[in-house]
Amino acid sequence: MSNRYIYVPRRQVIRGLLATAAFGATSKLWTGCSSSPTDTASTSGTSGASPDAGKPITIGFIYNAPKADYGWNQAHAVGAAAIASMPGIKIIEQESVPETKEVQEVMRNMIDQDGATVVIATSFGYFDPHVLEVAKAYPDVQFLHCGTLWKEGLAKNIGSFFALVDEGQYLAGRIAAQASKGGKIGFVGAKPINPVLRNINSFMLGARSVKPDIKMQVIFTGDWSLPVKEADATNSLADQGFDVIAVHVDSPKVVIETAEKRGLLSSGFHSDQSALAPKGYLTGTVYNWGTIYKNYVELFKAGKTLINGGVKPQYIGGIAEDYIGLATFGPAVTEPIKKDVEAAKAKLVDGSAVVYKGAIKDNAGAVKIPAGKTYKVTAPELTKMDWLAEGVSGKTS
């Protein structure tokens, strides 16, 4: 092969590549996620989020997937958009950040390059060790993590917030039971872990509170995002005559669309999917992260921070706090159903009804919550739930 006219010696190529890489690494060419670099000196102030000198508070959001996924991340992005328009607030966002060392790099860049004084890490796996480590290095920056992992004794600049979906799924279950003709509900879940099991059980408890003989079949696909398996699971449930499909995976888009194609009713999760299934969509629990974010922003603007103790380290709530809500009702949700749900919701909000009220049995018949005992959604016992409620067909292992 001697007919090569341009000959570049290999050493020269390697040298060139190394030089480019070194230049890139030192100048951090790729970290330009904000349009105008803010003065980084603001992070060295004593109180990071104080609104002194009229500087906007820069809040950095980190998502683990694209933010338009009709799922968890979209719910957060909607919340972020809600505060972006507030005066004195500047938000920066970065999508598809894996739960590895990379998130630490992203947090550092947001702080050093963009002058973020508040970092909101929206994915479960960002917390330990990544948020914990970076928080140590930047004691003036506030780190807010979405989850229930906060505990006493952590650095003062770490806080967490979370919304509990049990009440929303309970209401969605009530709607599903009333809209279902066959009384068979299918559920496509990712993995048999606590948050998914709570979702399934509260949905089932809601459904059974209307129709005590209703049946549910769960299919676990095995991971958070497996579009082909999710479609297969929905189709298999349709073949078996299940007429309502509920879901808990990262992005419910496949399940909702497949259910719509098969002419089934569907109940979504995370964010509002009503546009995907104009005929069959019932409703679904949506996160109102905007409520929480607005709450934070108002505290920050008043000069309160996690560090000076003005902001509580942990905010956890449910439907009463408006941390969650129900998505737009589809056409199959008739007026009587709407009325029933409004009434049930009012009871949950004022506390006269609760989702977990004994006696509750698991699907093998063992009593898991004894008669007369009630658990609020914030009860720590519920985070240990590892069973499926009566009437649900499926196994947790």
Asked if the peptide bond before residue 25 counts as cis, ω within 30 degrees of 0, the response is no
CB of 279 to other proteins, least distance (A): 10
Direct distance between the N- and C-terminal alpha carbons of the chain, in angstroms, rounded to an integer: 60
Q: Is 383 in the site for other proteins (CB under 8 A)?
A: no
Applying the rule CB under 8 A, the residues between 35 and 94 that interact with other proteins are 65-66, 68-70, 74
95 versus 112: smaller Cβ distance to other proteins:
95
Among positions 264, 324, 333, 344, the unique one binding other proteins when judged by CB under 8 A: 264
100 versus 308: smaller Cβ distance to other proteins:
100
310 versus 394: smaller Cβ distance to other proteins:
394
Asked if the peptide bond before residue 51 counts as cis, ω within 30 degrees of 0, the response is no
Q: Is 217 in the site for other proteins (CB under 8 A)?
A: yes
Among positions 253, 304, 345, 368, the unique one binding other proteins when judged by CB under 8 A: 253
CB of 150 to other proteins, least distance (A): 30
CA–CA gap between residue 224 and residue 192 (Å, rounded): 11
CA–CA gap between residue 92 and residue 77 (Å, rounded): 11
- Encoded tokens for 38: 């803010």
Compute how many other C-beta atoms are within 10 angstroms of the C-beta atom of residue 317: 19
Indicate the Cα dihedral angle 88, 94, 99, 105, nearest 10°: -80
Q: Is 269 in the site for other proteins (CB under 8 A)?
A: no
| Closest by CA position to 363, among listed 141, 200, 234 | 200
169 versus 251: smaller Cβ distance to other proteins:
251
Q: Is 161 in the site for other proteins (CB under 8 A)?
A: no
Q: Is 225 in the site for other proteins (CB under 8 A)?
A: yes
96 versus 383: smaller Cβ distance to other proteins:
96
Among positions 241, 303, 309, 331, the unique one binding other proteins when judged by CB under 8 A: 241
**CA torsion sign, 339 to 294 to 88 to 72?**
negative
| Closest by CA position to 327, among listed 78, 127, 144 | 78
CB of 264 to other proteins, least distance (A): 7
CB of 207 to other proteins, least distance (A): 16
Among positions 93, 114, 243, 390, the unique one binding other proteins when judged by CB under 8 A: 243
CB of 136 to other proteins, least distance (A): 32
In 3-state terms, what secondary structure has residue 252?
Answer: coil
Among positions 8, 36, 181, 366, the unique one binding other proteins when judged by CB under 8 A: 181
CA–CA gap between residue 178 and residue 172 (Å, rounded): 10
Q: What is the DSSP letter of 88?
A: T
Q: Is 305 in the site for other proteins (CB under 8 A)?
A: no
Q: Where are the alpha helices (DSSP H) in the chain?
A: 10-27, 72-84, 101-112, 132-137, 166-179, 194-210, 227-239, 253-261, 289-301, 335-350
Span interacting with other proteins, options 34-42, 112-120, 230-238, 304-312, rule CB under 8 A? 230-238
Residues found near other proteins in the complex (CB under 8 A): 1, 65-66, 68-70, 74, 95-96, 181-182, 184, 186, 217-222, 225-233, 235-243, 251, 253-254, 257-258, 261-264, 276, 393-395
